[in-house]
């Protein structure tokens, strides 16, 4: 995720970090070169372009802009819902830290809280399609089975069993156990929301239609502008292609908010926040440092 102060005019014009320009530069360049070729042909054979009307392109461009806005709103909703789910993860771990103060055995409390750290690491790895067991292993009091299909869920089940054992032994009362179980249910719900976002992309035909239409529009647009605008056509084509290709690429980037793109969610930083608060609750004096943006990017 890009973390920087509000850019001034110069930064707006020259900043590339976090910009979509790098991803669409080749496409925009090719369309601009095509526009230059079309203008050159128009200067040689102007009669071929005299009957081309710009009205259909105006209507198509307006419709394409509206549909792209709908798609980008849907992609941003996915990004924002994922951020809320990860925020719930932090909230519920903090609540577990507070509620487990009722556990008098510091060793048992430490197991539960460190397992929750392992859960955060495993969920982060799962959403980024990495090795879940390796990511969580150093934090867990009991490694999940090698055949476990869902390591984060296995960790939560183990934490639930520990809480149940404490309730049965009288180490915590029934009311406290109910609170802990509710927090674990909220963690499961947050995990399920993240998995739903990760595993259910936007309908492919809808995305494909917008991809194709934006390409067709940008390729055909110079034919309508060549006659009235002349050599200004490549400039306006570059601007239009940057806008449409950029909106398209931004939607692709926001559709999966758990990756490692510059504008994806800073899941590593959120997991580090959980680490620090758990270790502080367990009495650790040396905490891992807060993750800071590197070249304006917070991972």
Residue 53 in any domain: the answer is: yes
Residue 2 in any domain: the answer is: no
Its pTM stands at: 0.87
The mean pLDDT of 16-33, rounded to a whole number, is 82
CB 262 within 8 A of CB 297: yes
Per-residue pLDDT, 6: 67
Residue 13 in any domain: the answer is: no
33 vs 54, residue with greater confidence: 33
The mean pLDDT of 14-42, rounded to a whole number, is 83
Q: Which structural domain range is residue 54 located in?
A: 20-281
> Considering its fold, how many domains does the chain have in total?
1
Residue 287 in any domain: the answer is: no
Residue 299 in any domain: the answer is: no
Backbone φ, ψ for residue 89 (5° rounding): -60, -50
Per-residue pLDDT, 12: 57
Residue 99 in any domain: the answer is: yes
Residue 289 in any domain: the answer is: no
Burial string for 230-249 (b: 16+ CB within 10 Å, else e) reads: eeebbeebbebbbbbbbbbb
**pLDDT for 30 beyond 80:** yes
**pLDDT for 17 beyond 70:** no
pLDDT band at 10 (very low <50, low <70, confident <90, very high): low
Backbone φ, ψ for residue 258 (5° rounding): -100, 5
Residue 293 in any domain: the answer is: no
pLDDT tens for each residue of 206-254: 888 888 888 888 888 888 888 888 889 899 999 988 888 888 888 888 8
Please name which of 237, 228, 246 lies closest in space to residue 32, comparing C-alpha atoms: 237
């Amino acid at each position: 995720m890009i973390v920087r102060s509000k850019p001034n005019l110069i930064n707006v014009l020259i900043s590339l970090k976090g910009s979509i320009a790098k991803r669409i530069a080749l496409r925009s360049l090719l369309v601009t070169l095509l526009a230059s070729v079309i203008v050159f042909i128009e200067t040689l054979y102007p009669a071929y372009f005299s009957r081309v009307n710009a009205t259909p392109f105006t209507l198509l461009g307006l419709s394409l802009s509206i549909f792209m806005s709908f798609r980008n709103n849907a992609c941003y909703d996915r990004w924002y819902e994922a951020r809320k789910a990860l925020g719930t993860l932090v909230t519920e771990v903090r609540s577990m830290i507070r509620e487990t103060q009722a556990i008098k055995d510091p060793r048992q409390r430490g197991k539960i809280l460190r397992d929750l750290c392992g859960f955060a690491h495993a969920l982060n790895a799962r959403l980024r399609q990495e090795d879940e067991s390796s990511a969580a292993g150093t934090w867990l009091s009991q490694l999940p089975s090698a055949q476990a299909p869902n390591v984060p869920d296995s960790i939560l089940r183990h934490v639930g069993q520990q809480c149940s054992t404490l309730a049965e032994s009288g180490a915590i009362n029934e009311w406290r156990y109910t609170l802990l179980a509710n927090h674990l249910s909220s963690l499961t719900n947050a995990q399920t929301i993240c998995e739903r976002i990760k595993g259910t992309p936007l309908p492919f035909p809808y995305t494909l239609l917008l991809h194709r239409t934006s390409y067709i529009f940008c390729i055909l647009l110079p034919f309508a502008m060549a006659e009235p605008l002349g050599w200004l056509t490549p400039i306006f084509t570059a601007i239009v292609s940057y806008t449409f290709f950029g909106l398209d690429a931004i939607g692709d980037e926001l559709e999966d908010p758990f990756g490692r793109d510059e504008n994806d969610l800073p899941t590593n930083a959120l997991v580090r926040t959980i680490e620090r608060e758990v270790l502080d609750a367990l009495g650790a004096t040396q905490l891992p440092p807060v993750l800071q943006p590197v070249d304006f990017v917070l991972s």
